[in-house]
Amino acid sequence: MNEQRVAELIRELLKEIGEDPDREGLRRTPSRVARSLAFLMSGYGADLKETINQAVFESHANNMIIIRDIEIYSLCEHHMLPFYGRCHVGYIAAAKVLGASKLARITNCFARRLQIQERLTAQIAREIKSAVNAEGVGVVMECRHLCMMMRGVEKQNSIMTTSSVLGSFHNDAATRAEFLTLIGRPIA
């Protein structure tokens, strides 16, 4: 991303909305916004192989591995407003496991792009399954969307929940139920 070009565009945007980009409080805003966007959109340049960084380990266990409450921050591709919440990830290892922090890093790689929550959930699940050839993967995401909270319908308490289940989590109701129970979601 060309931060200088983005800063110029932000300066023009400030003018378009009726602001004076030369007033004291806004003088450095274009460059701050450009740096902020570079960070928030860093997922586009992320290399998932480098992110995983050889943190795939042999394992003879084939139990369920779960990390709950991974914080998610992303930008909605429709309004470029934030959505945020929690992501719960589980998988059953076949012969390999991922280093625990890599699950959070994988979520960041996909969240730091313009997104919709539905696609983000599926991308995380597919990448984890692929990274370790997991027997099954489950990802549940619960997020609040500022595009629903501060504009449009203005619903402050709405939470969107999405899930993606692959392999044994999809094919076996008992495996799926165990995952949902372990992440604290009641089974209907």
141-170 per-position pLDDT tens digit? 999 999 999 999 999 999 999 999 999 999
Q: Is residue 35 part of a domain?
A: yes
| Domain co-membership, 126 together with 84 | yes
**Total domain count for the chain?**
2
Radius of gyration of the chain (CA): 20
Residue 111 lies in a domain: yes
Domain limits at 157?
A: 50-182
Quote the pLDDT of residue 53. Answer: 81
CB proximity list for 126: less than 8 A, separation 6 or greater: 164, 166
User: How much is the pLDDT for 29?
Assistant: 98
Q: What is the reported pLDDT for 186? A: 67
Per residue in 85-94, pLDDT (tens digit) is 999 999 999 8
Cβ atoms of 139 and 89 closer than 8 Å: yes
CATH code (residue 104):
3.30.1130.10
CA 117 – CA 89 distance, rounded (Å): 15
For residue 23, the domain's CATH number is 1.10.286.10
Is the distance from CB of 161 to CB of 113 less than 8 angstroms? no
Residue 45 in any domain: the answer is no
Say if residues 22 and 101 touch (Cβ distance below 8 Å): no
Residues 163, 94 share a domain:
yes
Query: How many other CB atoms are found less than 10 A from the CB of residue 72?
Result: 23
The segments of the chain whose pLDDT lies below 50 read: none
